[in-house]
Chain A
Amino acid sequence: MTNKQTSLFRRKLHERTIKYFFFACAATSIVVLFFIAIFLFHEGVGVFRVVEITDFLSGRRWAPARVQPILGILPMLLGSLFVTVGAMIVAVPLGLSAAVYIAEIAPPKIKNPIKSAIELLAGIPSVVYGFIGLVFLVPWLQETFNLPTGFTALTGSLLLGVMAVPIIASISEDAIYAVPRDFREASYALGATKWQTITRAVLPASISGISAAIILGGMSRVIGETMTVLMVTGNAPIIPDSICSFLRPVRTMTASVALEMGEAAKGGIHYSALFAIGLVLFTITFLLNLIADFILHRYKEAQKR
Chain B
Amino acid sequence: MSATMLTVKELNFYYSKTQVLRDVNIEIPGNEVTAIIGPSGCGKSSFLKALNRLYEIIPGARVTGEIIYNGGNLLSRDVDVVGLRKEIGMVFQRPNPFPKSIYANVAYGPRLHGVKRKELDRIVEESLRKAGLWDEVKDKLNKSGLDLSGGEQQRLCIARCLAVEPKIILMDEPCSALDPIATAKIEDLIYNLKQDYTVIIVTHNMQQAARVSDKTAVFLTGGKMVEYGETVKIFENPENKIVEDYITGKFG
Contact = CB atoms under 8 A, between A and B. Distances in A.
B108 A188 contact: no
Contacts of A187: 98, 108
Interface string B98-110: 1110000000110
Interface string A170-195: 00000000001011111111111100
Interface stretch (A85-93, A119-127, A199-207, A220-228): A199-207
5 contacts: A185-B92, A186-B96, A190-B85, A190-B164, A305-B146
Interface residues of B, number: 29
B99 A302 contact: yes
Nearest to B81: A191
Contacts of A196: 112
Q: Dominant SS at the B interface? A: helix
Contact of B96 (A185, A193, A302, A305): A185
A184 B109 contact: no
B71 interface: no
B112 A305 contact: no
B113 interface: yes
Given A200-B108, A200-B112, A302-B146, A188 B54 contact: yes
A263 B59 CA distance: 62
A191 B86 CA distance: 5
Given A190-B112, A191-B164, A185 B86 contact: no
B223 interface: no
A183 B98 contact: yes
A-B pairs, 3 with minimum CB distance: A182-B96, A190-B109, A189-B90
B92 A191 contact: no
A192 B90 CA distance: 13
Contacts of A193: 82
B85 A188 contact: yes
A201 B146 contact: no
Contact of A305 (B84, B98, B147): B147
Interface in B141-168: 146-147, 157, 160-161, 164
B185 to A, nearest CB: 20
A105 to B, nearest CB: 13
Nearest to B82: A191
Interface of B: 52, 54, 57, 59, 82-86, 89-90, 92, 94, 96-100, 108-109, 111-113, 146-147, 157, 160-161, 164
A201 B52 CA distance: 19
Interface string A132-164: 000000000000000000000000000000000
Contact of B89 (A180, A185, A190, A201): A190
A185 B160 CA distance: 13
A248 B104 CA distance: 47
A190 B99 contact: no
Nearest to A189: B90
Contacts of A180: 96
Contacts of A190: 85-86, 89, 108-109, 112, 160-161, 164
Given A200-B108, A200-B112, A186 B99 contact: no
A189 B99 CA distance: 17
Contacts of B54: 185, 188-189
B98 A201 contact: yes
A190 to B, nearest CB: 4
A53 to B, nearest CB: 43
Q: From A185, A186, A201, A205, name the one whose CB has the most chain B CB atoms within 10 angstroms.
A: A186
A102 to B, nearest CB: 15
Interface in A258-305: 302, 305
Given A190-B85, A190-B89, 6 more contacts: A185-B54, A187-B108, A188-B57, A190-B109, A190-B112, A302-B99
Given A185-B54, A186-B157, A200-B108, A191 B85 contact: yes
